[in-house]
Amino acid sequence: AQPLIVAIDGPAGAGKSTVAKLVAGSLGVPYLDTGALYRALALFLDARGIPPVECDALYSALQEVSLEITEKEILLEGKNVGAEIRTPRIDTVVSAYASLPMVRNRLLDLQREQGKRKGLVADGRDMATVVFPDARVKIFLTASDEERARRRFLELRERKENARYEDVLEQIRERDRADSSRSTAPLRKADDAVELSTDGLTIGEVTGSVLALVREIL
Ligand code: C5P
């Protein structure tokens, strides 16, 4: 049989990665955080001062950059950048890079490769629409803007990052606008995806609903 692929898409802060990790653990398959890949490329390009408009410089940088993922780490030029990719700076610049076909193509095979042996639970923006269109389970996870901003805000505070709730809310809206309106692989629910709103639900409840959907098809 084909390895099991569970595709989870949705806007920023909907709880995708928390839920996807728990679902993967429960099913005993690897978890793939595709946002981390876009963040790592954004970190690399931003640090080198290559803006999203400089096609030639972008092209050569994308050819030479080394990006690897293991079960636990994301390695950029051989170095684990798990913490560096989750800063307000990367939150601000990532969508512009992620809108470029050149950047998305650089990551396509890398993402598909991960699911080949043992299957996976993957989260992102275009899992069900572009990267894994044949995924057996497709979920579109949402929550209200305010709820998503509140979660991000609390997460930032926990990491001792200074942030105002209003700024976090505006930034989340801006990132969703950018991700939904780009022409290549925009954020949208796949026609055959199940939409789950997580407003007012606990992580355990959402994870349970996703697992129930998986068990239905197994
Ligand atoms: O999921 P996360 O918030 O870490 O994603 C960071 C950014 O990476 C998104 O705002 C989006 O611009 C981009 N992304 C994407 N396609 C994916 C995953 C992430 O364009 N599959």
Tens digit of pLDDT for each residue in 63-88? 999 999 998 899 999 999 999 999 88
Number of helices and strands in the chain (H, E)? 8, 8
Tens digit of pLDDT for each residue in 85-137? 998 899 999 999 999 999 999 999 999 999 999 999 999 999 999 999 999 99
pLDDT averaged over every residue in the chain: 96
Q: Could you tell me what percent of the chain has a pLDDT over 70?
A: 100
Nearest CA to ligand 1 atom 14: 35
* Dihedral sign computed on CA atoms, order 28, 129, 206, 160: positive
Q: What ipTM, to 2 d.p.?
A: 0.99
Ligand 1 pocket, residues with Cβ under 6 angstroms: 12, 34-35, 38-39, 94-95, 98, 124-126, 175, 179
Tens digit of pLDDT for each residue in 183-202? 999 999 999 999 999 999 99
Domain count, the chain: 1
Give the range of the structural domain holding residue 105, as residue numbers without chain letter: 5-217
Token couple for 193: 């995806």
**Which pLDDT score, from 0 to 100, does residue 207 have?**
98
Token couple for 52: 């999203």
What is the atom index within ligand 1 of the atom nearest the CA of 111? 21
CATH number for the domain including 101? Answer: 3.40.50.300
Tens digit of pLDDT for each residue in 142-169? 999 999 999 999 988 998 888 899 999 9
Q: How crowded is residue 142: how many other Cβ atoms within 10 Å of its Cβ?
A: 19
Pocket test residue of 32, 100, 125 for ligand 1, highest count of atoms within 8 A of CB: 125
What is the atom index within ligand 1 of the atom nearest the CA of 17? 1
Token couple for 202: 């606990």
Token couple for 210: 């996703």
Q: In angstroms, what is the span from residue 164 Cα to ligand 1's centroid? A: 22
Token couple for 27: 């099913």
Edge-first strand order for the sheet with 194-197 is 31-33, 120-124, 5-9, 137-142, 194-197
Q: Is 1 a residue whose pLDDT tops 80?
A: no
